[in-house]
Every structure is written in structure tokens, then in C-alpha cells.
């Protein structure tokens, strides 16, 4: 007697899905979590350039949670400056001016979601 498991392909990364919940979602657990995080920042109105820089910040592991998932320690793009950020505030120069939402806040919102 042979068993055949139902499989599908993730709509995001094209990996093979085997779990019933993942097949129903159309994506694996990791890709679903990433998609949910990105949906949060898109809904919050961050600019596409800020979202892309936030993805890179997370990929570089340049953002570290300090207090649970509410406050984060961020390394600036120059590699030497450091800032404290949260999904709603940041102490970087752009965050202090509050003209535009900085990419540090976008990364914090992604990780807090």
C-alpha cells in the first residue's frame, strides 16, 4: 500500500508545501509571517523605498529587540550610529523631524507584527 501526500507550491517562494494548513493558505508558515509583516507597513502608509530599506535592515540583522518586541536597537546605514526605535517613533534625525516615517520605524513595525 502506497501513501501519496498532497503537495502544493508556495505562492511566494515556490517551495513545496506538505502541511494541510500551508496548502490551504497557499504559502508556508514563514512566508505567511513575512507577508503579514509587510502588509502591516503597507497599510501604515510607509513609502516603498522605506519598506525596501527596512527589509534590508532586517536581512542584515541590524535591528535587535530590546524590550520584547516594542523597542528596538538599530544600527544606522553608516554602520557607526545607533538609534532607538519603535513602530511609532524613532530618535534618528528623520524621526526627530517627523516629516516622513523613517525606515527604522518600518522595520520595527514589521518585527512587532
Q: What is the mean pLDDT of the chain?
A: 86
> What is the chain's length?
113
What integer is the mean pLDDT of 39-63? 88
Q: How many domains does the chain have?
A: 2
User: Judging by DSSP bridges, how do beta strands 71-75 and 8-9 pair with one another?
Assistant: unpaired
Instruction: Provide the whole-model pTM.
Output: 0.74
Q: What residues contact residue 4 under an 8 Å CB cut-off, 6+ apart?
A: none
Domain containing 33 equals 1-43
Strand, helix or coil for residue 63: strand
Whether 110 and 57 share a structural domain: yes
Whether 55 and 95 share a structural domain: yes
In angstroms, the CA 82 to CA 19 distance is 41
Residue with more model confidence, 9 or 69: 9
Amino acid at each position: 500500500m502506497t501513501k501519496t501526500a498532497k503537495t502544493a507550491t508556495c505562492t511566494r517562494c515556490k517551495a513545496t508545501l506538505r502541511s494541510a494548513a500551508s496548502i490551504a493558505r497557499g504559502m508556508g508558515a514563514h512566508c505567511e509571517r513575512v507577508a503579514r509583516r509587510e502588509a502591516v507597513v503597507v497599510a501604515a502608509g510607509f513609502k516603498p523605498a522605506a519598506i525596501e530599506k527596512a527589509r534590508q535592515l532586517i536581512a542584515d540583522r541590524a535591528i535587535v529587540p530590546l524590550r520584547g518586541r516594542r523597542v528596538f536597537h538599530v544600527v544606522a546605514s553608516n554602520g557607526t550610529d545607533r538609534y532607538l526605535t519603535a513602530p511609532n517613533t524613532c530618535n534618528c534625525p528623520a524621526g526627530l523631524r517627523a516629516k516622513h516615517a523613517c525606515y527604522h520605524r518600518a522595520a520595527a513595525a514589521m518585527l512587532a507584527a
